[in-house]
C-alpha cells in the first residue's frame, strides 16, 4: 500500500521507555525500576486529583462535557483571562497539531530552534511544510530574527524553557523579538515547563495574559503532564485571542478530553500546596545533578525545567550509558536521535536521584 509521501521523512516519535518494558525485558521487579525519562512529576499527581479521578469513574458511560466549562473556568481564573481565549487539548501536543493544521500547508515554512521538541517537526512534515531551524542547538534570538527575516515563516515555535536541552529565553527579550514578527505569523510559545522556570527565575516567566494582549498572533501552550503530575490523563491547554481559538476549535475532535481527566486537571490546578512541593523538590535536587556533572567533567546546560542534559565526550557514549542504566532498571533519555552525544535525566525524588548517581558512578568506575 502507498501512503501519503509526506510520511516518508517522518521518524516515529520515541517516547521514554515504559516501566513495563524494563520489567519484561530485564526481569527487574516493577517497584525497583526508576523512570527518569519523560519529565513526569516524581511526587506523582496531587492526591486531590487522584480522588477526583476515582469519583468521576462513576460517569464512565456518559460523554464528557464538550464545552469543558468547569476546567475553562478554573484556567480563566488561574491566568486571569477570558474563557473564550482557551482551548483544551489531549495534551498540549494535540494543540500543536491544531496550530499546524490551521495555518500551514506544503507551501509553508515553520521556524524553530535546531534542537527542540520533536513533535513540532512531525506535525510540520505531515502537512508537507518546510522546517527551518536556527544554527545553534539552543534558542538564540539573534539567529531567530535573522532566520525570520530571511524565510518569513507561517509559524514560529519558541519552547520556553526548551525540551530537551533545558535553557530558557528571557521573557523581556522574547517580547522585544516578537515585536518584529509580522501579525500574520502564528507565534507558538510552548510553556510546558514554565512552572519550573518561574520558580527559579521570574525574568523567565511568560504571562499568557500579557502575551496575548501584546501579540494578537500568539498562542501560549501549557500542560498538566509535567509539574501538575498528570501525564497519564492527557490534558493540555492553549491561550490565545478568540480569533485563533475559533480557528483551532474547528479542528478539535468532539469529546477529546475524558471526564476523569477534566476533573483531575481542575483539582490539580487548585492544589497549590502540591505544586509548591513539586517545584521545591526540583529546586533542591537540581544542584546535586550539576555537582555530579562537574565532578565527572560533563558539560551541562543550566536548566529551568525538571530535567538536566549532560553532554559527553568520546569515548563516553550516550547510547552505551543509556543501555547500561536501562539494564539496571534506570530509564533515562538518550539524545542520540537528536544527533547529540548526550542524555537527558528527569529530576526525581532524593532516593531516585541517589540511585541514578550510584549506578552511573559504578558504570564510570568500571571503564
Of 125 and 355, nearer to ligand PLP (C-beta) is 125
Residue nearest to ligand PLP (CB): 91
Of 193 and 360, nearer to ligand PLP (C-beta) is 193
Of 92 and 281, nearer to ligand PLP (C-beta) is 92
Q: For the CB of residue 126, give the shortest distance to ligand PLP in the complex, in Å.
A: 16
Q: For the CB of residue 366, give the shortest distance to ligand PLP in the complex, in Å.
A: 33
Of 41 and 217, nearer to ligand PLP (C-beta) is 41
Of 158 and 325, nearer to ligand PLP (C-beta) is 158
Q: For the CB of residue 93, give the shortest distance to ligand PLP in the complex, in Å.
A: 3
Q: For the CB of residue 15, give the shortest distance to ligand PLP in the complex, in Å.
A: 10
Residues that bind ligand PLP (CB under 6 A): 91-93, 117, 159, 163, 190, 192, 223, 225-226, 231, 236
Closest of 114, 118, 42, 28 to residue 289, by C-alpha: 42
Q: For the CB of residue 250, give the shortest distance to ligand PLP in the complex, in Å.
A: 20
Q: For the CB of residue 123, give the shortest distance to ligand PLP in the complex, in Å.
A: 12
Of 244 and 265, nearer to ligand PLP (C-beta) is 265
Amino acid at each position: 500500500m502507498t501512503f501519503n509521501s509526506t510520511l516518508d521523512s517522518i521518524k516515529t516519535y520515541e517516547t521514554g521507555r515504559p516501566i513495563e518494558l524494563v520489567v519484561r525485558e530485564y526481569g527487574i521487579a516493577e517497584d525497583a525500576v526508576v523512570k527518569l525519562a519523560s519529565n513526569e512529576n516524581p511526587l506523582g499527581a496531587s492526591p486531590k486529583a487522584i480522588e477526583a479521578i476515582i469519583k468521576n469513574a462513576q460517569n464512565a458511560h456518559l460523554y464528557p462535557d464538550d464545552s469543558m466549562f468547569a476546567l475553562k473556568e478554573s484556567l480563566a481564573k488561574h491566568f486571569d483571562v477570558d474563557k473564550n481565549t482557551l482551548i483544551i487539548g489531549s495534551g498540549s501536543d494535540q494543540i500543536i497539531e491544531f496550530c499546524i493544521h490551521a495555518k500551514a500547508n506544503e507551501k509553508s515554512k515553520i521556524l524553530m530552534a535546531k534542537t527542540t521538541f520533536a513533535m513540532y517537526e512531525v506535525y510540520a512534515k505531515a502537512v508537507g511544510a518546510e522546517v527551518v531551524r536556527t544554527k545553534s542547538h539552543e534558542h538564540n534570538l539573534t539567529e531567530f530574527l535573522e532566520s525570520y527575516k530571511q524565510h518569513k515563516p507561517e509559524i514560529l515555535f519558541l519552547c520556553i524553557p526548551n525540551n530537551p536541552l533545558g535553557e530558557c529565553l528571557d521573557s523581556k527579550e522574547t517580547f522585544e523579538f516578537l515585536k518584529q514578527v509580522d501579525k500574520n505569523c502564528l507565534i507558538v510559545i510552548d510553556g510546558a515547563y514554565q512552572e519550573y522556570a518561574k520558580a527559579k527565575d521570574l525574568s523567565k516567566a511568560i504571562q499568557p495574559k500579557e502575551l496575548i494582549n501584546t501579540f494578537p498572533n500568539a498562542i501560549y501552550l501549557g500542560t498538566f503532564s509535567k509539574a501538575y503530575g498528570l501525564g497519564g490523563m492527557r490534558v493540555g491547554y492553549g491561550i490565545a485571542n478568540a480569533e485563533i481559538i475559533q480557528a483551532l476549535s474547528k479542528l478539535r475532535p468532539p469529546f477529546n478530553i475524558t471526564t476523569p481527566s477534566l476533573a483531575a486537571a481542575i483539582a490539580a490546578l487548585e492544589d497549590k500546596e502540591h505544586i509548591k512541593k513539586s517545584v521545591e523538590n526540583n529546586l533542591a535536587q537540581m544542584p546535586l545533578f550539576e555537582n555530579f556533572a562537574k565532578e565527572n567533567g560533563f558539560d551541562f546546560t543550566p536548566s529551568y525545567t525538571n530535567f538536566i542534559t549532560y553532554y559527553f565526550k568520546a569515548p563516553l557514549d550516550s547510547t552505551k550509558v543509556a543501555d547500561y542504566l536501562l539494564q539496571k532498571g534506570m530509564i533515562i533519555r538518550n539524545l542520540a536521535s537528536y544527533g547529540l552525544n548526550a542524555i537527558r535525566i528527569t529530576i526525581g525524588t532524593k532516593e531516585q536521584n541517589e540511585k541514578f548517581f550510584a549506578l552511573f558512578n559504578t558504570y564510570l568506575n568500571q571503564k
